[in-house]
Structure 1
Amino acid sequence: MPQPPASAERLHAYDVWDAPTRWFHWINALAVLGLIIIGVILLNDDALGLSANGKILLKEIHVVLGYVMGLNLIWRFVWAFFGNRYTRWSAILPYGSSFWGKLRAYGSAFLSGEPQEYVGHNPAARLAIAVLLLLLVLQAVTGAVLAGTDLFWPPFGRWFASWVAAAGIDPAMVSPLAAETLDQTAYKAMRAFRSPIVTIHLYAFYVLAGVILLHLIAVIVTEIHEGGSITSAMFTGRKILNRPPQDV
């Protein structure tokens, strides 16, 4: 028999996302959005007619946003040891002897039209989070290396500048726009070293953009199918459910 519509008396609010977790989410979302927009512009720099100085400026903004994303990510990793029960590693990553059974039960219930509700992340979301975090870490690490090869910025820029500096040139004076500061043989060798890292960064970018799109679709579908005020909870910190949650 179909269930009657949930009445207001059956709705219950649960505290879920603490303030540090909500700040992380929105800072990360804005930083990644900015990185994607600038990344797309840089990928089409020739078609857009960008000058060398324009490309350098955009790369500088891109790297600054990358620093914001990376530091924010480190903060979230630390907070996963200290936050509330729904923000800790045990609640956001897909591990534990019972996880796969919970995932199967969640999938079956979802397909049956009687979805299980979770205050924190459901099992499918925990899988998605693991993939997102891995991709963000990969982008942060490869991006930090490329910041060193392109702009000679920290954390690796000093090492790359010392590698490619022309004889008698202080590595601090090396500039991608000043060919006279570069030893061209060393610079070509550095660019060859950089090439596979660029490839990893580029293709991980495509995968990350696809996963983010799937994440947004999943949030919309889950919001419609299950309710639970998933989107508003990232502003208010509270979820409103009409079934007993599985993780309370």
Structure 2
Amino acid sequence: MNTQYQQVYVWSQYLRLFHWINVLTITMLLGFGLIIFNAKTLGVSVDGKILLKTVHVLTGYVFAANLLIRVFMGFFGKGYERWHKTLPFAKGFTKELADFKQQPHKKYKGHNPLGKLMVGALLLSMCIQMISGLVIAGTDIYYPPLGQYFAKSIAVDSSKLDSIKPYSKENVDEQDYQKMRELRKPFITAHVYAFYALLCLIPLHIIGVVISERREKTALVSSMISGYKYLPTKDNLDE
């Protein structure tokens, strides 16, 4: 007997907007990050590097705002905006994962168990990038929210903070500057490793989506544009 399918609204307008803003900003951040990371090899001038870092940070603000709103919606949103339907920490997830291994062609209204694990890994990497990036922005080019604090911490004359510029030693106490650079080292390390994690996770995410689309045949790819998946009317369907 042929399975009957119905069009079901799954991904809210907000979730779809978050997803595509995330795709755009992360693509830009990874691109700028790679150029900044290899600036010396590419022969980028000091002014060019400062410009790249400035654009990187401004893009990072959009990324951070989008991510913070998503974190808020995970607690206070509706439907599949909520964390208990998105992340692999809800009660019964272990059983859900075991069932998935036994029934790999089972249809899911939301994410399948592997999808939830991927979402968790991506969100963790993005949160590390956001926090470490804001610290680096404050210690490197003295941008908000921590730029003023770090500029004041290294200033010879705190009444002339405007004179403290990236890659300039004007009004900078050398010892305090070195202390600041030591403080930021673990954040640099976290930022780099989270960067590498995203470079690995994003292709795996895309491959996983393609495999799930071919296996489940629920219009998973187009649903992130329309919000609708095609799901069985009764049997072999899970939340």
Q: TM-score range by the shorter chain?
A: over 0.9
User: Which residue of 111, 121, 124 maps to 1:134?
Assistant: 124
Contact 2:163 2:170 in 1 (8 A): no
Instruction: Name the SS of the counterpart of 1:170 in structure 2.
Output: helix
Kindly provide the amino acid, as one letter, of the partner of residue 63 in structure 2.
Answer: M
User: Which residue of 66, 87, 94 maps to 1:72?
Assistant: 66
TM-fit CA distance, 1:168:
6.2
The aligned counterpart of 1:19 is: 13
| TM-score, normalised with respect to structure 1 | 0.90
User: Which residue of 153, 158, 179 maps to 2:169?
Assistant: 179
CA distance in 1, matches of 2:134, 2:99: 41
The aligned counterpart of 1:245 is: 237
Percentage identity across paired residues of the two chains? 38
CA distance in 2, matches of 1:87, 1:168: 45
The aligned counterpart of 2:98 is: 104
Structure 1 stretches of 4+ moved >4 Å? none
| TM-score, normalised with respect to structure 2 | 0.94
CA distance in 1, matches of 2:159, 2:178: 17
Choose 172-181 or 91-100, whichever is displaced more: 172-181
Kindly provide the amino acid, as one letter, of the partner of residue 240 in structure 1.
Answer: Y
TM-fit CA distance, 1:172:
3.2
* Shift in alpha-carbon separation, 1:168–1:79, aligned structure 2, 3 A: closer
CA distance in 1, matches of 2:88, 2:158: 54
Aligned pairs for 1:4-15 within 5 A: 10-15=4-9
Contact 1:18 1:83 in 2 (8 A): no
Q: Does 1:193 align with 2:183?
A: yes
Cα deviation 1:171-225 (Å, max 9, x = unaligned): 2331014322322222122112212211111011101211111101100111111
CA distance in 2, matches of 1:52, 1:27: 30
Instruction: Name the SS of the counterpart of 2:108 in structure 1.
Output: coil
CA distance in 1, matches of 2:153, 2:123: 32
RMSD value, Cα: 1.6
Aligned pairs for 1:75-154 within 5 A: 75-110=69-104, 115-154=105-144
Contact 1:139 1:205 in 2 (8 A): yes
Unaligned runs of at least 5 residues, structure 1:
none
Instruction: Name the SS of the counterpart of 1:240 in structure 2.
Output: strand
TM-fit CA distance, 1:165:
1.4
TM-fit CA distance, 1:244:
4.4
Q: How many residues matched?
A: 237
